[in-house]
Structure 1
């Protein structure tokens, strides 16, 4: 599994293209495999999946029974607006217009690592989401990570 690190700021041009920062491009690895760009489920941002990660997600989704209505509804919503994208020869990524509209991306963009994918945010919306999350972060951290068992070496997670 890929694991990305970092938060990067960049700008989109009038056509919706953004130049990927060199440290992020290096982490993305094999750019020739392509990527999948989709709407986020919970936030007004986009999610960039390396093809390998997208294929893993599709394997999970393909296990859902399509004869169950809520599964069908989930698949339809999850894949709404999904686009295959490539990084061009100069290191730019073109964000399709419908995804720009969904994510309210203007000019200033934040690329934020989210474990195995990259979130693409309008800078102002990212800062607003981060500010609101930080208010309750201590409680959230305790709730999500507080019951984790010790790691394999018997050390507590810190």
Structure 2
């Protein structure tokens, strides 16, 4: 399993092509050949890019849901809405489909931000605004999310 590190400002060309930063290329070197899946984020106006190996893991979890339960079926439909596979070209670029560019309001200036096993693709302005507009104090959020976890369980 890959554990991505880094946030990078990039440029997207008029056709929606993005050059993967060298640091990501290095971190994803063993996974590039399999390709990636790009999808709408559930919580934010950005895109999520999954290495194919990670996507298969997520799909295995979704496949355990009972499709005869309406909420499960609705969730699967919404979660996979707009999903596309993408591959790197010989120059190390990947193409973001137009409909997904529109969903995330991507313009020329974008940000690629690591999300542990995936990376997010943001419009630069939207990314900066989300960071600035955080309603919850990050210290409070960190305590709520991580405060009850035994540190020994993390290793």
Category of TM-score, reference length = shorter chain: over 0.9
Deviates more, 1:5-14 or 1:23-32: 23-32
Which residues of 2 match residues 41-60 of structure 1 at below 5 A?
A: 41-60=42-61
Q: CA deviation at 1:31?
A: 1.1
State the partner residue of 1:103: 104
State the partner residue of 2:8: 8
Residue 66 (structure 1) aligned with residue 87 (structure 2): no
Distance 2:135 2:92 in 1: 33
Structure 1: unaligned runs, 5 residues or longer: none
CA RMSD, Structure 1 to Structure 2 (Å): 1.3
Q: CA deviation at 1:134?
A: 7.5
Normalising by the residue count of structure 1, what TM-score does the alignment of the two structures yield? Answer: 0.93
SS of equivalent residue, structure 1 residue 63: coil
Distance 2:7 2:118 in 1: 12
Normalising by the residue count of structure 2, what TM-score does the alignment of the two structures yield? Answer: 0.95
Residue 34 (structure 1) aligned with residue 31 (structure 2): no
Residue 24 (structure 1) aligned with residue 15 (structure 2): no
Q: CA deviation at 1:150?
A: 3.0
Structure 2: unaligned runs, 5 residues or longer: none
Distance 1:135 1:58 in 2: 31
Q: CA deviation at 1:8?
A: 0.5
